[in-house]
Structures are given as structure tokens and as C-alpha cells.
Amino acid sequence: MSQPTELDAAVNPPSYRRLSVIVPVYNERRTVAEVIRRIRSVELPLEVEVVVVDDGSDDGSDKVLAALADSTVRVITHPTNRGKGAAVRTGLSMVRGDLVLIQDADLEYDPDDWPRLLDPMLKGKARVVYGSRFTGERKNMLISHWVGNRVLSLVTNLLYQTTLSDMETCYKLFDRSVLDGLELRSDGFSFEPEITAKVLRRGERIYEVPISYAGREVVEGKKITWRDGFVALATLVRYRFGS
């Protein structure tokens, strides 16, 4: 039996029922409560499941999360800090939705943008949607991060023959079937290029939509550094020519 085409999906869009949101948290005591509040205020035409993974925070985030947990927000705890990729992988092992979205806990990304991400998915236009920080309203990021992100997106496009403007975006939305059987290994920020590389190698096309972005600086808690850019570059090359 032949695989469904993009035209088939557009004519007969999939019937999604539950959105699972994975929120990796590491030392975000000042922002995580507001992120959860915004998550709870978003109105969507599907059930929402939220899995928060506290990745060994030592700033009191665990106490804030304990007060926020309820029937709609589950909190999973890593006893030690293992990295964003490890937190997302733990979340993936727990979620039950047929759509999966990653949401950072630092207020750089606004859950009010979720409907934009979901729209092409619900219409059957895509099975993977990324939110681009470079095509929407934004508070600009540091110049070093701006340059690094643009370079990494360019390298992704050259290596994988795609046209992404923002490979490193947090906002990545997947049809769960795209992730099934995808072996993810990265523990740190190299999760972003790894999952992008492996999805593209499977032949999936990534649909981008504009999102708002409120970039923060190191003094405000920004954790990713220029060193992570070199790791991301190596990851893109490795998965293009290896496994």
C-alpha cells in the first residue's frame, strides 16, 4: 500500500486528539510558574497534556513545580543535571499525545503562538512544524547568538537540502508517528541539530511558521554559549554522513 501524499493529507487532514507538551526545566525558578500559567491559558481544539522535566535544578525550581503539579501538569525529576536533550528524551518516554511540542521554561517563547504552530498540522499540510524566530515579532538576541543561529541554519540547508530559517528554535512540533523509532542520543543542546538531522534524513519536510521571541541575556539566565554552536555544527555533519 502506498504512503499518503501531502495532497491526501490536505484533502483528508488527520484527526489529532491530544497535544503533549514537554517542558525541560533547569534553574528557572523565576520564570517557570509564569510559563505554566500561560500554558494553562491557551485555548486549543484538543486535549493538552503537560510533562515538566526538572533536570536537577538546585535553585528552588523543584519547590515551585511541586506547587504547580496537578492532573494536567505532571512533574518528572532528574536527581542530577543531565542536559536539555536528556530532559526531552525523558519527556518523550512519558507523553501519550499524537502531537508532541517542546516548550522552554524561560519566557523566551510564548505559548500564545501554539495555534500558529498547530494550524498547518491540523490542516494536513505538515507532520513537522518549527516556529521561526527570524520571521516574526521579536526582541532580538545577542549578536553572537544571531550569527551562530544563522550559520547553523545555513549549514543545515546545505547538508540536508532544505530551506530552514531557524534550525535551533525551541518550538518544534511533531506528529508522534514521526518520532516513533527515532533513536535520539544527545543529552545537551545538541539535541536540536540531532533531531532535525534525523527527521530530515527520514525524508520529512519541515514547515516553518513565524513566532514571537523575547531573547534574554546571560545575566538573565541564558545558558547556551558559543561553544554549543561548535558542538551543533559537528552534530549536523556527523548525522549527515554517519548514524
Residue ranges of the domains in the chain?
15-241
pLDDT at 242: 74
Of 86 and 214, the structure prediction assigns the larger pLDDT to 86
Proportion of the chain above pLDDT 90, given as a percent: 74
Find, among 141, 108, 129, 136, the residue nearest to 214 by Cα: 108
Q: Is the pLDDT of residue 112 over 50?
A: yes
Q: What share of the chain is helix, strand, coil (3-state, %, to 5)?
A: 40, 20, 40
Q: Is the pLDDT of residue 49 over 70?
A: yes
Q: Is the pLDDT of residue 1 over 50?
A: no
**What are the φ/ψ torsions at residue 237 (nearest 5 degrees)?**
-65, -45
Q: Once rounded to an integer, what is the mean pLDDT over residues 174-181?
A: 95
**CATH number, span 15-241:** 3.90.550.10
Q: Is the pLDDT of residue 14 over 90?
A: no
Q: Are 87 and 134 in contact (CB under 8 A)?
A: no
pLDDT at 149: 77
Proportion of the chain above pLDDT 70, given as a percent: 85
Q: What are the grid coordinates assigned to 34, written together?
A: 509564569
Angle at alpha carbon of residue 35, lines to 113 and 131, rounded to 5°: 30
Q: Which H helix or E strand runs over 102? A: strand 99-102
**What are the φ/ψ torsions at residue 88 (nearest 5 degrees)?**
-65, -40
pLDDT at 70: 93
Q: Is the pLDDT of residue 87 over 70?
A: yes
C-alpha distances in angstroms, 234 versus 72, 148, 155, 166, 228? 38, 13, 11, 17, 10
Find, among 238, 84, 97, the residue nearest to 168 by Cα: 84
What is the torsion angle, in degrees rounded to the nearest 10, for the CA atoms of residue 16, residue 22, residue 28 and residue 31? Answer: 0
Per DSSP, 218 falls in state G
Average confidence score pLDDT of the chain: 89
